[in-house]
Amino acid sequence: MVSRHMQFMHVKEMRTAKLKRFMAAESFTMETELHRVDCDSSNGFRDNYDFVRAKKEEFAKEPLIPKPLMSGHDLIRDFEVPHGPGIGESSAQSKPNNSKEDFLTKKRPTPS
């Protein structure tokens, strides 16, 4: 938990998808409280804390990390993909982008 607390200083610069992944951690609530206490005991600036709290309310309407479009079970059943480590890689690629911003800014490979 302590290892991630310095990332709070960068939350305003994070792209939406990265911020959502950061906020999706199981320890995020405790990390947020640690950040608040850290700010209160040092410089008193809570701007990043307030930013994250506002984003938490903004993102509350939908899951922070959407479900994959298909699971490993779907790949095996529908596409006859063999069991093995490749299943995780294939199903990870089927996760939808978290935001239009990421979809528009990420460089995609050109088809061959």
Q: Is residue 16 part of a domain?
A: yes
Judged against a pLDDT cut of 70, whether residue 108 lies above it is answered with no
Q: Does residue 43 share a domain with residue 10?
A: yes
In-domain check, residue 33: yes
pLDDT at 14: 96
Q: Is residue 67 part of a domain?
A: no
Query: How far apart, in whole angstroms, are the C-alpha atoms of residue 55 and residue 47?
Result: 12
Write the pLDDT tens digit of every residue in 77-94.
Answer: 888 778 887 776 655 665
User: Tens digit of pLDDT for each residue in 8-31?
Assistant: 999 999 999 999 999 999 999 999
High-pLDDT (> 70) share of the chain, %: 77
| CB count in 10 Å sphere of residue 12 | 12
Q: How many residues does the chain have?
A: 112
Read off the pTM: 0.62
Q: Provide φ and ψ at 108, rounded to 5°.
A: -105, 150
- As for how many domains the chain has, the answer is 2
Q: Which domain holds residue 52?
A: 2-59
Lookup: tokens for 112 = 């061959």
Mean pLDDT of 41-58: 95
